[in-house]
Structure formats: C-alpha cells, structure tokens
Copies of this chain bind each other. A is one copy, B any other.
Amino acid sequence: MRVCRQVDEFREACDATRRGGGSVGLVPTMGALHGGHLALVEEARRQSSDVAVSIFVNPTQFGPNEDLARYPRDLEGDLGKCEQAGAALVFAPAIDEMYPAEEHTRVHVASLTEHLCGASRPGHFEGVTTIVAKLFAVTGSCTAVFGRKDYQQLKVIERMVRDLLLPVRVVGYPIVRETDGLALSSRNLYLSADERQSALSIPRALSGAVARFSAGERSVLALREPVVAAIDAAGLRVDYATLADADEIAPLSDRVADRALFAVAAFAGKTRLIDNVVLGEDPAPISA
C-alpha cells in the first residue's frame, strides 16, 4: 500500500493504475476509520482493481461552532486499517495541498442542499462538494463509494457529478450498524455510556416508522410524530426528523408516496448524530 501526501504524487499513481489497464476505486473519508468505512473499501474493491482511500479532515465543511478542532484523528491507526482492508493507495494530504493560499473557488449545489443538514449546517455542503470535486479532479476517472448514512451528501454528490459531467461513477453503500442498531460513525467516539444508550432511540424510532409505513401509513404527520416523541423521550435533542423526496431532498408536508427518505439528526449531549431510512426501499434498522 502506497501513502501519498502530495497531489501530484497521488494523481500520477491513479494515472499509472489506469495506464496499466486497471481501474481506480475511491473512498473519500475524514479518517477515524470504522467498520462502515471498511465496508466502503470492500465495496470499492468489488468495483475496481485498485482502491484509494483519501483521509482528509476538510475544514470547509465544519461550521464555526462545530467540532473541527476535536474531530478524531488517528492517521497511524487508519493506515493499518486501510492496509488490512486491501487498499492500494492512501491519499492523506496536508491542508495547504487541498487549499492553497489565495484560493477562492467553491462548488455549490443548490436546491438539494437547502433542507435537513443543509439547513442545520449552513455552508456544510458547499464545503463537501468543493473538497469532493477536488478529490475527483486529482483522482481522475474512478468509481467513488459513499455511505448512505450521509444520504443527503450522497445525493448532492451524485447531482454534482451529473451536472459537472465528471468522469466518476458514484456508488452508495448501505448504512453499517452496530449489532444493537446504532449507525457506525466516527462521532460515536464522543459518546458517554449513557449517551450511547440513549442514541439507540434513533434507529429504534426509525424502525417503528418502517413498520408503520409497511402497515400502510402514508401520513407525514402520523409517521413523523412518534419518531420525534421517542427520540425526545430518550433525552436527545431532535435537530430535525424529516420526510423528504428521496431524490430531490425536498421535505414532504402531507402524504408520502411509494418511497420517501426519513432522515433524523439529533444531539446526544454535544454530539450530533444522523441516521436515515428510505421508506419503501430499506429494511428496518433494527429487525423486529
């Protein structure tokens, strides 16, 4: 496994793979790798000959009062996990490699970024699309694998790739969960034992929504209210719990059709957790 710290070196390594007849699979991460990330690496290995993992804590996707400074970093541990998972390349650039002095360029996707995490975290998605556009530019033609835990992010990136005509195939991979149902996240490291227990209310509540949807419930109000109540009752602060069009990420206000995103963000103490399920498509996070 080769570790590249420079843009030019990583670009040349990806070019060399393609020149040799191989294909590049890219897994963009912010490090602090967990089983969810490693599942993305495995998926990328199925889709391409050489997998590259990028590890970069992207400052522009954090708000001024968010957790950029304390975001978990463990490059040495991450490199071991990448090697173990069969990655061929790791790209771990310094900040000024990705954001040179006097840089002024941003990539913005409108509409899909207006609601859910886009409303709660102003500027977040512009930071995401900008860094991912840069990673795609350096990697070149590739298959890029993203987790569906960040469902809105996945849809925003798919739209960016389509709109900017980028030579990238975007693959979304199902949420990986702990055995009790909590979605894997680097931010789970922040949770106290009590918060960890309370956080389970999120996948439980979403599982309840899947059951009600399967039983025929289509009212947004009737699907949403028990979810908010259950997460609230567990002591978490609900940031949003929203039913939305699964492609355009526009909130639904009345009735749900055959398929809809149910996305939740909630704070366990200071830690913001997200989870989601696509009603009519995904199984319940916790099987009954």
Contact = CB atoms under 8 A, between A and B. Distances in A.
A163 B109 contact: no
Interface string A108-147: 1111100000000000000001100110011011000000
Contacts of A163: 100, 103-105, 134
B102 A248 contact: yes
Interface in A167-219: 167
A152 to B, nearest CB: 13
A166 B135 CA distance: 10
A133 to B, nearest CB: 6
Contacts of A160: 105
Interface string A70-93: 000000000000000000000000
User: Which range contains the number of A residues in contact with the other chain?
Assistant: 20 to 34
Nearest to A140: B167
A248 to B, nearest CB: 7
Contacts of A106: 107-108, 110
A69 interface: no
A27 interface: no
Contact of A111 (B104, B112, B166): B104
A137 B166 contact: yes
26 contacts: A7-B165, A11-B165, A11-B167, A103-B159, A103-B162, A103-B163, A104-B109, A104-B110, A104-B163, A105-B107, A105-B108, A105-B110, A105-B129, A105-B159, A105-B163, A105-B164, A106-B110, A107-B107, A107-B108, A130-B164, A134-B163, A134-B165, A137-B166, A140-B140, A140-B141, A140-B167
Interface of A: 7, 11, 98, 100, 102-112, 129-130, 133-134, 137-138, 140-141, 159-160, 162-167, 248
Given A103-B162, A108-B108, 19 more contacts: A11-B167, A100-B162, A102-B248, A104-B112, A104-B159, A105-B107, A105-B129, A105-B159, A105-B164, A106-B108, A106-B110, A107-B164, A130-B164, A133-B164, A134-B163, A134-B165, A137-B166, A140-B141, A140-B167
